[in-house]
Chains A and B, each alone.
Chain A
Amino acid sequence: MYGNDFSGEDAPGGLLGEVEAAEAALRAAAERDRGAAGPGEDLAAYFAQVIDADQKIEPRDWMPEAYRRTLIRQIAQHAHSEIIGMQPEGNWISRAPSLKRKAILLAKVQDEAGHGLYLYAAAETLGISRDELVDLLLNGRQKYSSIFNYPTLTWADVGAIGWLVDGAAIVNQVPLCRCSYGPYARAMIRVCKEESFHQRQGYEILHVLAHGTPAQKAMAQDALDRWWYPSLAMFGPPDGDSTHSAQSMAWKIKRFSNDELRQRFVDMCVGQAEVLGLTIPDPDLRWNDERQAYDFTQPDYAELMQVISGNGPCNRERMAHRRHAHTEGAWVREAAAAYAAKQKNKEKVAA
C-alpha cells in the first residue's frame, strides 16, 4: 500500500479506491517516525530523508532549487490546463440537449475552474505569485495540455472528453496524489475525487448516444474516432524522448513513466468501449497474452509536437479567448478592489 506500484488489478473501488489509499498512505507516512529529529546542519540530507520515508515536503521546508522549479512548472501547467480546459466544453453549455445535461455540464465546467484554483494555490506556496502565473499563461511562456487545442464539433465530443480526456487525466493524476510535495498531493486528492464524476457523466452521454438512433450512434463513433489518439498523446512523448522524467521519479514527483500510464489507460478503455458498442479506431489493437496487456498503435508524436508548439487546430482561438476574458474581466476586479478599499476607509473613520 505504501509502494508506488499498482498491481495489475485496480484497488478496491477502482481509481477512486486508489485515491483513498493515497490519502490513507499520506496520513500513515506522516505518523511514521523517521528516527531522526528535525533538520540539522545538512538540509539536503534532511530533504532526501523525508523523500525516502515517503513523507511530504511542505512549503517552508528547504528544497533544492531545481525541485522547486520543476514543481512550479508542472503545477502551473496543470492549473493552466484546467482553466483552458473549460473552453471546449463551455462551447456546448448553451446547446446542451436538455436542461438536465446543461445543469450537469455547468457544474462540471465550474469544477474545472475550481481545480485550476486549487492548483494555482498549490503553485503559489512555492513562492510564485498568482499574477506571475496568469501572465506566464497569457504571454505563452507556460503551456497547457495539448488536448484542449482540439475542437468540440458535436455534442458527442462532450461525452468523449468526459470519458477519454478526463479518463486519461485521472490515470495521470491518481499517482500524483502520492507526490512528494504536500500541497500538490492534497490538491490532487481533491481533484481526483471530483474528476470521477466527470468521467462517468461523459461515459453516460456516449452510452445514451450509442444506444440511440443509428445517426446518434454514428455521432458517438465519430467522436471516439477523433478523440482516441489525441487522448493517448496526453501522456506525453514516449519514455525514450521524455526530458524531465528521471529526476522527477527520483524526487517522487512522478511515480510512473509516460508509457506505463498510457498502457494502463488503453487497458482500461478496451472493455469500456465494448460496453458502449463502439470501436476503438485501431486495427492493431489486440490482447497480448505474454505481456498481459493490449498491443496498440502509438499516437502521432509529430502531431503532438506540432500542437504543443502552437499549431494545433484551436491554439490561437483558445489563447485569444483567454486573453479576451481576462481583459473583459478587469473592471470586475478593479471594482471589487475599489469597494474593499472604500470599506476599509470607512472602518478607519468609524474607529
Chain B
Amino acid sequence: MSDSSPLWEVFVRARRGLAHTHVGSLHAPDAELALRNARDLYTRRQEGVSIWVVPASGITASSPDEKDAFFDPAADKVYRHPTFYEVPEGVAHL
C-alpha cells in the first residue's frame, strides 16, 4: 500500500477567512482520490469549505532534536516585538 497508495497530509479551511489547518492524513493512489477520500473522512459534518492534500513525502520538516540551534536566531531579536520600544508619554495612535 505504501508504494501504490502513498500517504497524504490533509489541511482543511474551516470557514472563509481562516487559514488551512492540518487535520490528519490518509492513503490514496493519486491526488484526486486523496481529495475525495479527505472529503469523506474529514468533512462529514461540514467541517470545511476547502481542502488541501499534500503528499507526505513532499514535506520537509525541521527536526525536534535540533530545536535549540534551529530556532535560536529568533530568541535574540527582541526588537522584532513592538513591546521592545519605549513610547513617550502622550503619544497616541502608535
Contacts and interface: CB of A to CB of B under 8 A. Distances in A.
Given A111-B44, A187-B24, A337-B5, A39 B64 contact: yes
Contacts, number: 70
Contact of B29 (A60, A194, A336): A336
Contact of A124 (B7, B29, B33): B7
Interface in B1-43: 1-2, 4-5, 7, 24-30, 33, 40-41
Nearest to A38: B67
A130 B27 contact: yes
Contacts of B89: none
A100 to B, nearest CB: 18
A313 B7 CA distance: 37
Contacts of A333: 1, 4-5, 29
Contacts of A60: 61, 63-64
Q: Is the contact region of chain A dominated by helix, strand, or loop, or is it mixed?
A: helix
B29 A339 contact: yes
B86 interface: no
Interface-central residue, A38, A43, A339, A341, by most chain B CB under 10 Å: A38
Interface residues of A, number: 34
A117 interface: yes
A40 B2 CA distance: 34
Given A111-B44, A117-B41, A129-B1, A337 B64 contact: no
A325 interface: no
Please name the 3 residue pairs, one residue from A and one from B, whose CB atoms are nearest each other, closest first. A38-B67, A337-B4, A340-B30
Interface of B: 1-2, 4-5, 7, 24-30, 33, 40-41, 44-45, 61, 63-65, 67-68, 71
